[in-house]
Structure 1
């Protein structure tokens, strides 16, 4: 069986010689294999075969932790999703395509993050709902000086115009290259850290939003390298500056109607929006094991950094980890923002876990606490207790333990995926034990 004729014609039209079959593993490393056009028919429907152990490869080096339950024994196939075929302008002669892993009998492989997200999308569809999502992509632009030290490419601050000026040509090239790959660019500004910028891309269906994250990261790194700079999405590169997040915005629709705003009360959540948010808020401590998945993540999650350290939510509250942004004109609000997510998190796992948590809130009608309309960091321990608020986990060990104890999320992930994920993350954590900050950065700077 060959691929659909229109896709094959597109490859021929653009003189494509290699097709890259792409995925992201449990540590959110972007991986792939290039198949030559002369051999493409042999894998067009099944995809190339790999050992099951590839999904358990560690972030630091290619080792499969025994605790992951994965091993070099057994094969899975990276089945292509031809609807995602794209032609990166910076890779003439090469095309890329996203993949879903399947087992020998052709069934979706339970350890594939993209398969997990598709299962959660199906759960939404059972309720007649769809989700749209988008990410705010922050990253640092750095170089190494003559001593090999990592330094930022500018020293501007949040929204300072000199930050945009310093990287105008790079950002122009990045935007145009993303647009050429079908990604709608909306806004860009200098962020709070030196050498840090943010580029916002338009929301779309939740699976496409996760796919776009892989495209954005790969494209940003390639374009930056051509301008003599390194783009890094590591949460914290410089201890004294703000860290790099990847805030995710999400909304629910039914038959094209946004279910987040309350039609009767402007600038307030609907009952559906409240229930879904209640589930995400309830499971947020356990979600931290997915959305803040490396030691470095917790260097970023500090009070006063606009990313959220208290388990709460609020309208237009930048210090709440779950923010409900309002608009000047209706409909308002249109989405919910999760601020604790960073680029070390696999976007398929992040969005799938958000759906699982939100559906629990809907199904069980979990109560939603009152919104917090002050900076939660100024609240005393007594204030927090009175409001029923608590501090979010401050380290990865605690987050992973809470994730393992969360039956809703673990059951949603399933035994194969949850065991593999926890095994890989705990092994990585053990491998980095005692590392000084400088060693951590040297190893991880280009991992994300």
Structure 2
């Protein structure tokens, strides 16, 4: 959408407010609303000022003035506001007109430019499968003398014996029993369909939705792949609409990777490929999984740099509650066709040459998508540049259930880091591939690691409720 079209949309839809948005290092969106009457052509030239010192990980108070530069192509009408509002995503610049090096969206721009300058291809395409839970009740606290959380869902396995007003409706979803059942077991068809309707109105092309494996309302909605930055934009829109639709239904949606103990967590499997114009570069008919040498080298880069990547694709302490064996978690740094126990899966069902792609299954939705997609692309390009053959590096292919291998066979397979701190250690030791072409900077990485270390420390020093079960009577 052009600036002219944005201004026409404001008039045609009687828009009262224009909401200018940007994303912080953690992937959370922030916004400032201007009266629509104040939005003119100059707004898209001069931008919207904001205080960068109030955003964690950005700037100090002595250099706090920053500018949001609106991207008119990201415009959509907000479906939730009482006063008609237009939402627009922005890039972040300094007052002197320089792109801010810690702006995650700006890093995505640089990653796409680096791909084009490399001569490998013209565009990288991404498609995330971002899973989430829909709960009916969520409560938590963390204080000096108490620490607890509580979640509930009308369809949860633990509620088979609950007496509700009017009687228990039964048909609960069993533990690991929630993959694509029909109603009445799947009680959330309509809320997911409403989410999809609103996502489509916002410009996302919806491919499908369904209940996921876990009990208590785990769900997945898939939207069409797009270029790196556009897909990251779409993912922020996706999370906004999912969470606010749930709220309208009197429920709450969370993208937290592991909100429940003892059942599957929520991942964000990321499908990715590279094209040169209209030509798909990952396809070679008759090769293993119909993958080209370029695609294999891209996989080699992903798996070689995976420990460092995971600091950006799984950047929460909760991420590592999901990354444990036994819950379909892709903890094994190998590749395979059609095998969901591998970190990298190559989809083979109903795949056309243009649909040929690789799927990195380790990430989750606590990731900032601009950073995560950019980092994956940079790792893959490093693999292409250095011709990293994943088979020669010992990454497979493994075309069998890895969880059922013998201990001796498993010992040969690298695993993901076990904690956020371990992943951050790996990122500090291995990040030259990210700084190629100035896509990520040393300043950004040092700042990012510092912020994430503080999160890990905040969790590590707090008393865990289960420690009372283990140690109170010693």
Which of 430, 438, 441 does residue 457 from structure 2 map onto?
A: 430
**Post-superposition CA distance 1:154-188 (Å, at most 9, x none):** 23222222377411221221111011111111111
User: What whole-Å deviation, never above 9, does each CA across 1:401-446 have from its counterpart, x for those lacking one?
Assistant: 101111324524112321221121111222222446679xxxxxxx
RMSD between superposed Cα atoms in Å: 2.3
C-alpha contact (below 8 Å) 1:260/1:333 kept by paired residues:
no
Following superposition of structure 1 onto structure 2, how do residues 30-429 of structure 1 map, counting pairs within 5 Å? 30-41=29-40, 43-55=43-55, 57=56, 70-74=59-63, 75-91=65-81, 92-126=83-117, 127=119, 128-144=121-137, 149-155=150-156, 156=173, 157-162=178-183, 165-194=186-215, 195-265=217-287, 267-328=289-350, 330-331=352-353, 334-369=356-391, 370-380=396-406, 382-385=408-411, 387=412, 389-411=413-435, 412-429=439-456
Are the counterparts in 2 of residues 410 and 418 from structure 1 also a CA contact under 8 Å? no
Matched residue of 1:186: which SS?
strand
Greater Cα shift, 310-319 or 144-153: 144-153
Q: Is the 8 A contact 2:331 2:342 kept in 1?
A: yes
After superposition, the Cα gap between the structure-2 partners of 1:25 and 1:262, relative to the gap in structure 1 and judged at 3 Å, is same
**Equivalent pair of 1:304/1:319 in contact (CA under 8 Å):** no
Shift of 1:252: 0.8
Q: Is the 8 A contact 2:268 2:365 kept in 1?
A: yes
Once the 2 structures are TM-superposed, how far is the Cα of residue 50 of structure 1 from its aligned partner? 2.6
Q: Does the CA-based 8 Å contact 1:164-1:190 persist in structure 2?
A: no
Structure-2 separation of matches of 1:271 and 1:320? 19
State the secondary structure of the residue aligned to 2:31: strand
Query: Where in structure 2 are there 5+ consecutive unaligned residues?
Result: 141-148, 157-172, 467-474
Deviation, 1:43, is 3.3
Q: TM-score, normalised by structure 2?
A: 0.84
- 1: distance between equivalents of 2:53 and 2:139? 40
- Bigger-Rg structure (1/2): 2
Q: CA deviation at 1:96?
A: 0.6
The superposition leaves residues 122-142 of structure 1 with CA deviations (integer Å, 9 ceiling, x where unpaired) of: 111121331111111211111
Runs of 4+ in 1 over 6 A off after TM superposition: 145-148
* In 2, Cα distance between equivalents of 1:390 and 1:146: 37
* SS of match in other structure, 1:9: helix
8 Å contact kept, 2:130–2:364:
no
Query: Secondary structure of 2:299's partner?
Result: helix
| More moved, 409-418 vs 173-182 | 409-418
Question: What TM-score results when the alignment is normalised by the length of structure 1?
Answer: 0.89
